A and B are shown apart, each in its own frame.
Chain A
Amino acid sequence: MRIVHRKLGLAALAAGLALSSSVAFAADATKGKANFMKYGCWQCHGTQGQGSPVSGPKLAPGPLPFEAMSAFIRNSRRQMPPYREEVLPKADLEDIHAYLSSIPPAVDANTIDLLKN
């Protein structure tokens, strides 16, 4: 099923996924959320990819284009440990990107009473 869906990007778009324009085919945001947990991305970036000033930057909303994100993840040589293909298959990474792309924009801090001062 996953292979079919990847080739039929329109199906994913119909499901309301806001995909990065650079992703040539669709992926599954629901599976992506599970993968985001399974592969430990949440550990440093939070379960919604919101990031932390001490452990890892914000990933969502508005993730990097897939190619850029993938290149960084595969080749990181800094604090972020690299995830090679053997550890995180491309299909699963595409799903993760779909999950991050599905996260809605952040609430404006100016509309949150506790953050006004």
Chain B
Amino acid sequence: MARKDSARKDSSPDVSRRKFLKGVAVAGATASAAAANAAPLGTGADVKRLPAAIAPTAHQIAAETAVPKDMPHLAGKPNSDFMVDVIKSLKIEHIYSNPASSFRGLHESLINYGKNSMPDFITCMHEESSVAMAHGYYKASGKPQMMLCHGTVGLMHGTMAVYNAWADRVPVIMVGGNDLDAAKRPPGVPTFHSAQDIGALVRDFTKWDDTPVSAQHFAQSFVRAYRYAMTPPHGPVLLSLDAGLQDNGVDDAGLYIPRYVASAPPHADVNALREAAKVLVAAENPVIVVDKMARTSEGAKNLVVLAELLQVPVVDQGGRMNMPNTHFLNQTAGAQALIRTADVIMGLECSDFWATVNQWIDNGEEHGHGLRESRIKPGTKLITISSVELNTKSNFQDFQRFQVTDIGMAGDAEASLPALIEAVKAAIPNDKKAAFEKRGEALKAAYQKSRSNARQVAALGWDASPISTARLNAEVYNAVKDEDWSLVTSTGNTSGWSERLFKFDRHYRWLGRSGASGLGYGLPASVGAAHANKALGRFSVSIQGDGDMMYAPGALWTAAHHDIPLLTVMHNNRGYHQEVMHVQRLSNRRNRVASLGKTAGPIGTSIDSPNVDYAGLARSLGWWAKGPINDPKELGAALKEAVQVVKRGQPALIDSVTQPR
């Protein structure tokens, strides 16, 4: 598509890979046929009669020895140079990518014309990792990055990570190379790697996609894609980039790059906010539940303001660091009781508000579907602000079960908080302030009690081997607490001990989870976040599940190759532990003893026999590493050493063998 005949006559396509690849294919076929004729499979005696090498044909001799004609050069600037200008206009810092021939034109322009700077090319080992790195980078920096891939096989690799980014409301700018012109593209592999519509692979979980057919179209679509991705609710976008379009020369003197102007985020309806404020002020036991609300530190600051105004407890579901856990109004530990006794519950950007106010008991009742029970008392008023319903799609079910609410606001919660705060201020009568203060005092006491209780519970199994998840978190926090640290990911589920034992006092202390719980997120997203934190002067630490690690271990190499400092501490429970418990549950329900085979968990769920040597794996890919560590008393010293390595600019991994949860 868009490959003009005039360009073919005086430009590169005739001397391009098309003829080169065709020549290679013909030569290979000739050699194979000759060999087949000369030596049908037979005895050793037959083989001895073969010449040492197949004699070249006259055509081959001529091709190898003749002086080649001058190769025509592409006149002027290729479109891919202009595309680099467009990308640079948006100040994209990095392109996470596995190299692929379908975007070789753009690749060449990026590193030679663009000098491999703003953006630079970050070499990845799996497209799933490329997307996850861009995902992690955004969450640490607030800046969207690019992912570049083969539009077919590369994007197929990347789809799960795209779904995670979609469900986590994170912008990723994806470009997939694709050779559209069936009459001109190279046969064989490049044609395997072409498709009519690569966007179909991810259209159910991207905000927008397009297939530009000219350089100007690319410029408009790239800036548009960036703008759509960056308007809440954020999400990934895709451009299908024709290989021919990249190679063609710029032939439009009037090309221009549209200026990017961010769209204002969608705001909740002001009248609905006023109504919500009145309900919150009048409530006896209101609760605010937050999940992916604080897109930026401003969101977290405003949440504190709102909570303090009302002296209302906040339950942070951890999609982002919304409410500092050092603040007494963070009452996450008491969530169940608070929800049960609340008369008003306001959910802000909750991924699953149904499960916030209901619970599901996986006990096989109700014809095997499990019990559904309400967590709330009759008459509890429910309020939500969420941007998700502004951008929903039908196929994938990330919108979760439907929950009826009394006041539902479609809008970005962070952007809507200032107006809600003003509405609450206006709604608070003077005679309410004493009641609020009294509520606050009770919450202070509850906060202290829950902190104390958490410490006592953390002491259970303190010296256990495998290492308890509480001990793991306490040791890791102790090792990094004097740095300007950021817990970039925590996968494998350490029972919420990070939230209890780390001090989440700034927005970047905790970056949230994967979005759709697709495994293979933790390591590459950590590398991406650590990449961003390197420029920000922050110390990156991750707690890394073993099952998650094995989906994308190639990301270790990327971190080492690009000098990305990151402390990765393995939560190595030697299993896909969620599934360990699922199979056990079903075995019990069916009155069967779960068959263990040669593993610790039910067959098919454990990652042991043999145990994976994660330290050895990391070392082989350029990391400093230590482990496996079974004795919790050895963990502190190893972490201390690893912290020094990371401070010198290298990635370091500690393999700690841990309790299941």
Interface of A toward B, CB cutoff 8 Å:
37-40, 42-44, 46-48, 50-56, 58, 77-79, 81-84, 86-87, 106-109, 112, 114-115
Contact = CB atoms under 8 A, between A and B. Distances in A.
B458 interface: yes
B126 interface: no
Interface in B461-493: 461-464, 466, 468-469, 474-475, 477-478, 493
Contact of A79 (B361, B496, B661): B361
B457 A37 contact: no
In the complex, which of the residues A39, A43, A107 has the most CB atoms of chain B within 10 Å of its own CB atom? Answer: A43
The 3 closest A-B pairs by CB, nearest first: A50-B461, A81-B588, A50-B460
16 contacts: A37-B600, A39-B593, A40-B584, A42-B660, A44-B581, A46-B461, A46-B659, A50-B659, A51-B460, A52-B660, A56-B661, A84-B588, A107-B459, A108-B459, A115-B455, A115-B459
B126 to A, nearest CB: 30
B390 interface: no
B464 A48 contact: yes
Given A79-B361, A81-B363, A84-B591, A43 B580 contact: yes
B496 A54 contact: yes
Given A42-B660, A47-B461, A50-B659, 18 more contacts: A39-B593, A40-B601, A40-B602, A43-B584, A44-B660, A46-B659, A46-B660, A48-B464, A55-B660, A78-B363, A79-B361, A87-B588, A87-B592, A106-B459, A107-B459, A112-B462, A115-B458, A115-B459
Contact of A55 (B468, B497, B581, B594): B581
A42 B468 CA distance: 12
Contacts of B474: 114-115
Interface string B34-73: 0000000000000000000000000000000000000000
Interface of B: 361-363, 365, 455-464, 466, 468-469, 474-475, 477-478, 493, 495-497, 577, 580-581, 584-585, 587-589, 591-594, 596, 600-602, 659-661
B496 A47 contact: no
B475 A114 contact: yes
B660 A43 contact: yes
A113 B361 CA distance: 38
Contact of B661 (A38, A44, A114): A44
Contacts of A48: 460-461, 464
B495 A87 contact: no
A43 B581 contact: yes
A112 to B, nearest CB: 6
A107 B462 contact: yes
Interface of B is mostly: loop
A84 B581 CA distance: 17
A42 B658 CA distance: 12
A40 B600 CA distance: 9
A56 B460 CA distance: 13
Contact of A53 (B457, B466, B592): B457
A53 B660 contact: no
Contacts of B602: 40
Contacts of A83: 588
Contacts of B660: 42-44, 46, 52, 55
B589 to A, nearest CB: 6
A102 B238 CA distance: 59
Nearest to A115: B455
A78 B360 CA distance: 10
B459 to A, nearest CB: 4
Contacts of A40: 580, 584, 587, 594, 601-602
A55 B575 CA distance: 15
A106 B497 CA distance: 18
B463 A109 contact: no
Contact of A54 (B478, B493, B659): B493
Contacts of B497: 53
Given A78-B363, A87-B592, A43 B577 contact: yes
Contacts of A43: 577, 580-581, 584, 601, 660
Contacts of B458: 109, 115
Contact of A47 (B477, B580, B659): B659
Contacts of B475: 114
Nearest to B464: A48
A46 B661 contact: yes
B589 A109 contact: no
Contact of B463 (A39, A54, A78, A107): A107
Contacts of B588: 81-84, 87
Nearest to A82: B588
B457 to A, nearest CB: 7
B533 to A, nearest CB: 24
A79 B601 CA distance: 19
A55 B592 CA distance: 21
In the complex, which of the residues A42, A77, A114 has the most CB atoms of chain B within 10 Å of its own CB atom? Answer: A114
A79 B363 contact: yes
B464 A46 contact: yes
A11 to B, nearest CB: 28
Contact of A38 (B457, B468, B469, B596): B596
A53 B661 CA distance: 9
Nearest to B636: A114
A79 to B, nearest CB: 6
Contact of B459 (A46, A81, A109): A109
